[in-house]
Structure 1
Amino acid sequence: MGKFPKELDSLFTLKGDGLFPTPNEINLDCSCPDWAVMCKHVAAVLYGVGARLDEDPTLFFTLRSAPYEALLKQAVENRLEMLLENANKQSDRTIDDSQIGDLFGL
């Protein structure tokens, strides 16, 4: 679906330790004689990387040497654990049986 589990949000956004590179970690360099920092060769590489990430977003984890499968497994296990902890708790969204008629105007 092109979406990452919400439990992995902190991995992306954690300042300093997140998966997104800091500006200091990004170097654009090409040996061509073009004077622009982002020459056509660098732009083509960035476009190619972006196109491949569009096809398979998990490649982002490969680029950052992050164990995607292990992170996903941990996120699912954490979510399952939370659901099991709350399984026997009554939700605030549950209405009493006697109020069902009122809900439907009966």
Structure 2
Amino acid sequence: MATSKPIRSMGKAAEAQERVETATTVDKFEETKDLAQPPTPTPSTPKPMIGRLSPQLSCTISQEDKEKLTALTLRLSMRKGKALNTSTIIRALIRIGEKYEEELEI
């Protein structure tokens, strides 16, 4: 006949596991405690102003100006050999306006 082995109590093992988990959790919080502190500002390094001015540029233009912009876009697209969108044209106009600032007509 087979002999049965005595059943061990799982209570001691469960208690030991709880102690290990609690200690591990406390250690994790201690390690990341200084990450939650806000960074101190450094006034000596200015932040660069790079990026979009706004998600959209919107303004009201006359029909005459719209036709000029369309003609300019078409002419530049033909010269470049591919379709150009309005934002590409506006960036080019900004660069030209910076170069010929004195001759700008507003």
Q: Which structure: larger Rg?
A: 2
TM-score (norm 2): 0.24
TM-score (norm 1): 0.24
RCO (CA 8 Å, sep 6+): is it higher in 1 or 2?
1
